[in-house]
Structure 1
């Protein structure tokens, strides 16, 4: 087994119309992934990925399964390119660890052998549906705060949340009403906050007043990884219980704890709570680096994770796989680095 490789998978916001069309045309293994998603979900998710419309693709209920499908298609095609006759999610290039950012963690579970494609297609569609329900019940959003440390930003979120709670009394309300929290610890100097819309706007304004360089709204339609999603987390647990999950062949780094997990019961608990808890991405990458990982494969649409990794670990090798051309380059890089030796 290679001891220095991690497979990483992106989350919501990385979607774009046209994603995956090139690998669908080029790879038998990729086509199988898309066809399995289409059959499991009962509609052509692949056509939505390839042709849009963008507004429909961006909706949480569609974006989440679409990103997972495209990421898995590129992984399958990459392994197929390395060994056309003998490939799987984790061969011939065997990862030491897998991890994913938010919904990307579901992709990581497949790559680690904990869940199969029909299972993840069903689960991630249900995850998106339940999260979409909470978007409707308690509108909110997320924003990246640039140039402010976590402690100062935490104070702002607590101050705003307490103020909104006092203003409304928060009785008989949605548990996320008036709440804003630190949601994604993405990289030093870049933390994402998430919450109910009015509280989010107030926190962004206060962060700017107190020295943040920028407060950038994210291209998502709800307050993910915040108390707004707590009712969805409780409902999702029932769907997770009905999904076949097994002990992982390779450890997945938890979004919540930034520690490895392989046990099926731990994975079930993680999946249920993850949508309402903070994503500890800085700690995830730091943990991987501390274990000797120095080659990171970002597999799926976009290159957001690569930018984060560069700010967390200096000198790491980062290989993006988000197009057929990327796969060709990655195969050469794997050979050059001797990762299959």
Structure 2
């Protein structure tokens, strides 16, 4: 019996110089997406993705569109090798949720690319206007981290898996939270190397302006289930999709809930697109028995296609 397939799309932090280069060399469909992206944006995004430097690629306004194109290029290359295959559902980490919607036909490639570009610009502006930071809280449950966050006046940004929670807020307050984390029974607290306080109240200016952008975007009902980071549930109507994509900028990313929802739908084969094992690792910590493969370059795309053929 064929396994139900779920797609997972990477978020910021998965970028590496060279991403997508061998895909474009070996798969015409992937090359076409990078070519179209350069034309749509009016600049050589492909050059930044393929040649760096990493400092330029890591800028939010470059990183987010590059990851979007790379994720969809991985899917296009996979379809070249494996042919069309049924998809039960998808989720994407933070900006990856927009990639998931593009894959599901909620909006077309160009619309999604412009949205991601705008989102990156707005988040860059919010970062520049604030002194924000994020920190990983390892080895504590959600209720404990929420108590710490409330006491130190910061926000819970990501619930990535059991004992893997991220806080976000003003730099001084995040540093204070790190300083007292052990008093709450949190095993380890580590400041993250990010440009600002993503998924927190410090992104409020981006939230407002992104809402204006989303209001102008025509959307369709997704062809397969897309799970929202904000609610951990499937979103289906255009209004619901607009609202959750806007809310996501300041809200907690409930990644663990997203994975549990896909498992509840009977998904048995998870395909991570656009990052080399980051999301697979998070999922494996949640469910050690789950079948998950990553496709981020030409070799891994071919390996993934073999897995699809073997299970379907």
Q: TM-score, normalised by structure 2?
A: 0.97
Deviation string 1:57-98 (CA, Å, 9 cap, x unpaired) is: 111111111111111111111011113xxxxxxxx1121111
- From 131, 136, 145, the counterpart of 1:153: 145
Q: In 1, Cα distance between the equivalents of 2:2 and 2:47? A: 36
What's the counterpart of residue 29 of structure 1?
Answer: 29
Q: In 2, Cα distance between the equivalents of 1:111 and 1:60? A: 21
Deviates more, 1:56-65 or 1:215-224: 215-224
- From 131, 136, 139, the counterpart of 2:131: 139
Q: Does 1:205 align with 2:216?
A: no
Q: In 1, Cα distance between the equivalents of 2:63 and 2:284? A: 26
What's the counterpart of residue 67 of structure 1?
Answer: 67
Q: Map 1:293-332; keep pairs closer than 5 Å.
A: 293-332=267-306
Q: In 1, Cα distance between the equivalents of 2:24 and 2:132? A: 35
What's the counterpart of residue 49 of structure 1?
Answer: 49
Which runs of 4 or more aligned residues in structure 1 lie more than 4 Å from their structure 2 counterparts after TM superposition? none
Deviation string 1:185-228 (CA, Å, 9 cap, x unpaired) is: 00101101111111111111211343322223333211111101
Q: Map 1:90-105; keep pairs closer than 5 Å.
A: 92-105=84-97
SS of 2:282's equivalent in the other structure is helix
Q: Does 1:246 align with 2:238?
A: no
Q: Which has the larger radius of gyration?
A: 1
Q: Map 1:147-186; keep pairs closer than 5 Å.
A: 147-161=139-153, 180-186=154-160
Q: Does 1:122 align with 2:144?
A: no
Q: In 2, Cα distance between the equivalents of 1:22 and 1:205? A: 44
Contact 2:138 2:164 in 1 (8 A): yes
SS of 2:267's equivalent in the other structure is coil
What RMSD, in angstroms, separates the aligned Cα atoms of the two structures? 1.4
Contact 1:249 1:262 in 2 (8 A): no
Q: In 2, Cα distance between the equivalents of 1:196 and 1:17? A: 30
Deviates more, 1:50-59 or 1:201-210: 201-210
Contact 1:286 1:313 in 2 (8 A): no
What's the counterpart of residue 107 of structure 1?
Answer: 99
Q: Map 1:76-87; keep pairs closer than 5 Å.
A: 76-83=76-83
Q: In 1, Cα distance between the equivalents of 2:308 and 2:144? A: 42
Contact 2:6 2:267 in 1 (8 A): yes
Deviation string 1:280-321 (CA, Å, 9 cap, x unpaired) is: 111111111112111111000232111111111231100110
SS of 2:76's equivalent in the other structure is helix
Contact 1:2 1:96 in 2 (8 A): no
Q: In 2, Cα distance between the equivalents of 1:216 and 1:4? A: 37
> What is the aligned residue count?
312
Q: CA deviation at 1:331?
A: 1.2
Q: Does 1:227 align with 2:219?
A: no
Deviation string 1:109-164 (CA, Å, 9 cap, x unpaired) is: 01111011110111001000001111011121222111122111111111111xxx
Q: In 1, Cα distance between the equivalents of 2:129 and 2:78? A: 41
What's the counterpart of residue 173 of structure 1?
Answer: none
- Call closer, same or farther: CA 1:33–1:2 in 2, change over 3 Å: farther
Q: In 2, Cα distance between the equivalents of 1:189 and 1:326? A: 29
Q: CA deviation at 1:242?
A: 2.0
- From 198, 209, 217, the counterpart of 2:191: 217
Unaligned segments of structure 2, at least 5 residues:
none
Unaligned segments of structure 1, at least 5 residues:
84-91, 162-179
Contact 2:259 2:283 in 1 (8 A): yes
SS of 1:294's equivalent in the other structure is strand
